[in-house]
Structure formats: structure tokens, C-alpha cells
Amino acid sequence: MAMMLATRISRLLSHFSAKPAALKDVGIGLRADQGFSFRSLTPRGQRFYTVEADPVDGKAVLITGCDSGFGFALAQYLHKRGFTIYAGCLLKNKGDSGSKELDGMKCDRMRTVQLNVCDSEEVGRAVDFISDTLIDPEAGLWGLVNNAGISTFGEVEFTSMDTYKEVAEVNLWGTIRTTKAFLPLIRRAKGRVVNISSMMGRMANPARSPYCITKFGVEAFSDCLRYEMHSQGVKVCIVEPGNYIAGTRLYSPERIKTIAEKMWEELPEVVRQDYGRKYFDEQIAKMESYCNSGSADTSPVIESIGHALSAPIPYTRYHPMDYYWWLRMQIMTHMPAAIADRLYVY
């Protein structure tokens, strides 16, 4: 039954392919090879967004994690659209190239801020700095984009407790810490909180538990906050990007190798012996393959965040991802697990 359904879905999707939908293993299941998307039907392989936008008028937005990736690109994009940007950078004090380049724009509407979301004092200093430098402090801060994040991989038995805690410290507690600190300013503006989750915050995957649990947590936190903030006039949006690893600094081949070596060295002897090096290396190769299969064009993500910050009625959730992942997410979140698991996991 499951196989029949899979065949039907593949057939249906192949009608929309630029090329025949050859399937390849990209680490966490079979997916269609390059050229497979609905791009010919929708410009970004995703739904259309309303083009309506409220006037920007220099509204101030804080973005965390602007040293690279989405954060860095978003800071430039929103600045171009007329927002005043506070770009939180983890490595500003160390002179990282991301913050240097943003500072190099030499524009009053682009300010970088030293910001480690795991450090309460640094977050507090960022609140003071932004409160003191807002052009109209009474108007508050229009937007907070919780973008800072790290990622890792590894099956449950391969992952140390320290790794679980390390990833949660940035992705989950960092998001909550920063949000709580800036909410008074956001409430004053009746503004927006945009949390960058992931498709992995909606559907779990083998070998991604240290990352998935943090993004599931971000989703739950965002939902609770949205309910609570409704009466305050603050909107809370969640952006769930697909695989854009090729366009960001989240992983590099070197980083995957470093993580893998450390993981193998730290494995309990019983796990090492039971699974063996061959199995372990195969899992690492799957992760490498997944990282190489993403899109380098991050504009669907950046435009989704832009929409969340400027549309009169933003969406609650944005899904910037190609159609393979969109469909997989719908199936995994809406169909009985017995079917979804058969289709995509086992």
C-alpha cells in the first residue's frame, strides 16, 4: 500500500519535472535529482506571497547571527528595503569578515552589535545599546529576527549529552533569552518576532536529533508566544527553511569531518563495537551527500523573512524549500506515521 502510494506520488511529481525525476540517495532518504521542482509554476518552488507591504519608514529590526549565511544576506536585503538594521554578530569583537563588511557600508541605518545569544550580559548590553540609539525610542523596536543557530548530526547513540546541550544553548535557549530581553521594545512598537526554525522543526529525521529537538522547541515557543502576544498587537512568525546549506556557513566538508572524528573518538566502546567503523562512515557519507544537495540561492528564505516583517497580515509559517521537501513535510506531518515512515524513512 505504502509503495503504491509512493509510486503514485512520484509519478504525479514527474509531470512537473524539467527532467525525468531520477531518484538518488542524499543521506536521509531518496529524493529527486537536480532539475526537479515546481519552479516553472511558482517562481520560488513555493507559494506566492501577497505583494502588499506596509510602509517601511526606517523601522528598526534586530537580526541575530549576521556574521554569515541568512543573517548576513538578510541584513543587506532589509537595509536595501529601507529598514534600520541592528545586525547582531557573534564575532564582531574578533573582527569577523561579516561584521566588517556590514560596518563597511558606513550607513546610519546599518549598525552591527556584538551579540552572543548564549550570553545574558551581552544580550542585556545589546538591549541598552539599541534602546539608546533608536531614532524614536518611544516607537520601540519593530522587528526581532532570531536567526543565530548552529547545527550538528549524529544518531542518538553517537551523540554525547554535551552536544545536545551545546546545540540547544544557541538554537533554543538563545532564541528564548533574546526574545524575552527584547519583548518590551517589540511590544511598544506592536512589532514582529520572526523565529528561524527549519523544516527539521516540523519533521524529525534519523541522525538529526540534536538539531531537531531544538527546532521543535523553537516551534513550540513561537506558538505559545504568538497566542500570548495576540492581545498585545505583536505578530509572531516562523520561517522553516529547507536545505540551503550550500548558501550558508552551517556546514562545510571540513566541519563534517571534524564532527565525525570527534564523535568516533568519544563513542562508548560498546557502541563503537556494535555498529563498527563501516556503518559509521556510511552515515557520515550520507550527511556529506545531504549537505551537497541543497540550494545555494538563499533568496526564498530572505524574501520570506522580508514578507513576515512587512506584510500587513504576515503568515504564521513560511516554507521556503523546494517541492520535494515541501511534499515530504506535508506527508510526514499529516499522514499516519505508519505510512509516512514507510515512504521516507525505512
Ligand X SMILES: NC(=O)c1ccc[n+]([C@@H]2O[C@H](COP(=O)([O-])OP(=O)(O)OC[C@H]3O[C@@H](n4cnc5c(N)ncnc54)[C@H](OP(=O)(O)O)[C@@H]3O)[C@@H](O)[C@H]2O)c1
Q: Which of 26, 62, 63, 90 binds ligand X (CB under 6 A)?
A: 90
C-alpha grid cell, residue 239: 520561517
**Contact flag: residue 147 with ligand X (CB under 6 A):** yes
Catalytic residue among 66, 107, 118, 212: 212
Q: How far is the CB of 34 from ligand X (least distance, A)?
A: 17
Identity of the residue, 216 or 280, whose beta carbon is nearer to ligand X in the bound complex: 216
Stretch binding ligand X (CB under 6 A), from 10-18, 103-111, 116-124, 311-319: 116-124
135 burial (CB, 10 Å; 0-12 / 13-18 / 19+) is exposed
User: Is 212 one of the catalytic residues?
Assistant: yes
Identity of the residue, 50 or 97, whose beta carbon is nearer to ligand X in the bound complex: 97
- 229 contacts 316 by C-beta, under 8 angstroms: no
Q: Is 289 helix (H, G, I), strand (E, B) or coil?
A: helix
**Contact flag: residue 244 with ligand X (CB under 6 A):** yes
Stretch binding ligand X (CB under 6 A), from 46-54, 102-110, 179-187, 248-256: 248-256
**179/129 Cα distance (integer angstroms):** 16
C-alpha grid cell, residue 90: 557573534
Identity of the residue, 172 or 267, whose beta carbon is nearer to ligand X in the bound complex: 172
**Contact flag: residue 27 with ligand X (CB under 6 A):** no
Residues 6+ apart with CB under 8 A from 96: 67, 89, 90
Identity of the residue, 123 or 267, whose beta carbon is nearer to ligand X in the bound complex: 123
**Contact flag: residue 149 with ligand X (CB under 6 A):** yes
Q: Which of 16, 17, 58, 68 binds ligand X (CB under 6 A)?
A: 68
Angle (CA) 38-44-49 rounded to 5° is 115
Q: Which of 26, 110, 144, 170 binds ligand X (CB under 6 A)?
A: 170
Q: Is 240 helix (H, G, I), strand (E, B) or coil?
A: coil
Question: Would you give the end-to-end CA distance of the chain in angstroms?
Answer: 14
Identity of the residue, 64 or 179, whose beta carbon is nearer to ligand X in the bound complex: 64
Stretch binding ligand X (CB under 6 A), from 30-38, 67-75, 132-140, 229-237: 67-75
Residues 6+ apart with CB under 8 A from 221: 172, 175, 176, 179, 195
Return the residue nearest ligand X (CB atom): 69
**Contact flag: residue 85 with ligand X (CB under 6 A):** no
DSSP assignments along 2-38, one per residue: HHHHHHHHHHHHHTT-SS---EEE-SSSEEE-TT-SS
**Contact flag: residue 249 with ligand X (CB under 6 A):** yes
Q: Which of 28, 32, 117, 194 binds ligand X (CB under 6 A)?
A: 117
Phi, psi of 319 (to 5 degrees): -125, 65
The catalytic residues are 212
Instruction: Give the footprint of ligand X on this chain (CB under 6 A).
Output: 64-65, 67-71, 90-91, 115-118, 147-151, 170, 174, 196, 198, 241, 243-245, 248-250, 294
